[in-house]
Amino acid sequence: MNIIIIGGGFAGCASAEMLSKLKGVNISIIEKSNFLGAGVRTFFYGGHPYTYGPRHFLTKNKETYIYLKKFLKLRNCNYHQFKSYVEEDDQFYNYPLNQSDIMNMPDFKKIKKELKNKKKISNFNNLEEFWINSIGKTLFNKVIDRYNKKMWLVDTCKKIDTFKWSPKGATIKKGSKAVYDDRISVYPRNEDGYNYYFDLIDRSKKIKKYYNSTITEFDFKNKKVRINNKKTLKYDYVINTISPDGMFKKKYGELGFIGRDLHLIVFPTQNVFPKNVFFLYYPNSEKFTRLVEYKKFTLHKSKTSLIGMEIPSKNGKFYPLPFKSEQKKAKKYFDLMPKNFYSIGRAGTYRYEVDIDDCILQSMMVFDEINQGKYSGPVVGDEFK
């Protein structure tokens, strides 16, 4: 059986690793760059290990954690705190906000009144409506509006009409770790993060890698693809992990994504953020959304500290847009996929809530289906979030 995997990020690597355990299977990964792991791969800057943005492993699903643990020694980082700085208050709060943060705000009385007067509506048309109804206009302006506008490169949060991540079942909770309390949160102990896992796949003789390669032609009828206009490969299954539009020559138009520019800055101090603070979210008018102090995850020993600053941009296809119109377009592409195609991972499913654990879970589902000769549709794992 020939299986072609498009993209060697976490989703592509996890499915390759799992499927390589099956007998009589030839696996090929087609990867545009010259390495596996994409943004989860660790590189080094001034001796400091870093990934493209934070990439800790956060999950409610124990099965995915047990899987990762087979390959990597993992260190608990569940004690992490995320902070945000609100300029108008000149204060740091927890991210997401919790009840004690609100009590410490200078305009607490006004916020309290707005929270009391919130309407009981269950259907919202957009992110702005949802948040104003949930937390009031003052808090919305302080911590949600500017952040989401820069995150999604929009001029109003009314344009964001699907927003699975934001509510996470609760808006304001008690306690400093808020919505992350019930999750396993770990990071690899190895200095080079997850690289051992990616390198295992790189070395595997059972998995053929085509680096610096893209599929230049799909022949769905004869189950063949052409790579770099040079080589033809036959397949029984294709596992796609990239934007599904290219496969169909962007017939319904290009799917929109937000990318990120990552800026790396070494500070001449052992630590920049206070103990246990890993991230700083910035809901103010500056262009960056988040700062990460890598040392907090990696425990890298140095007299200096590396900070990564993320600025949303059009550079890369990292965040599928939370717009209904785009999601409908993605569905049209999924509907075109032949029966032997899967589309998993973040860009592959066109779902921005897909994280590392979801890539593993979706790969497990695809493995089970291929192993059992079943097929439930190109996008698996709708139910797990």
Give the nearer residue to ligand FAD in terms of CB position, either 96 or 136: 96
Q: Among residues 58 and 74, whose Cβ is nearest to ligand FAD?
A: 58
By the 8 A CB rule, do 339 and 369 touch? no
Q: Report yes or no: 344 and 15 within 8 Å, Cβ to Cβ.
A: yes
3: contact with ligand FAD by CB under 6 A: no
At residue 277's C-alpha, the angle toward residues 271 and 282, to 5°, is 100
Name which of 128 and 357 has its Cβ closer to ligand FAD: 357
355 near ligand FAD, judged by CB under 6 A: yes
Of the candidates 338, 336, 342, the one whose C-alpha atom is nearest the C-alpha of residue 365 is 342
260 near ligand FAD, judged by CB under 6 A: yes
What binding mask, one character per residue, do residues 15-34 give for ligand FAD by CB under 6 A, x or -?
A: ---------------xxxx-
Sort 144 into a burial class: Cβ within 10 Å, 0-12 / 13-18 / 19+: buried
Q: Work out how close the CB of 302 gets to ligand FAD at its nearest, in angstroms, rounded to a whole number.
A: 22
Interatomic CA distance for residues 302 and 143, integer angstroms: 33
Kindly list the strands in the beta sheet with 319-320, ordered across the sheet, starting from the edge strand earlier in the chain.
91-94, 81-86, 277-281, 290-293, 305-313, 257-267, 319-320
Report CA-CA distances (Å) from 244 to 55, 166, 250, 281, 374: 24, 25, 9, 31, 22
x/- mask, ligand FAD, residues 201-240, rule CB under 6 A, reads: -------------x--------------------------
Site for ligand FAD in 264-323 (CB under 6 A): 310, 318
| Chain CA centroid to CA 27, Å | 25
Q: Which stretch binds ligand FAD (CB under 6 A): 7-15, 109-117, 153-161, 193-201?
A: 7-15
Shortest spacing between CB 133 and ligand FAD, in angstroms: 29
Which residues bind to ligand FAD, rule: CB under 6 A?
Answer: 6-12, 30-33, 38-40, 52-58, 214, 241-242, 246, 260, 310, 318, 345-348, 354-357, 359
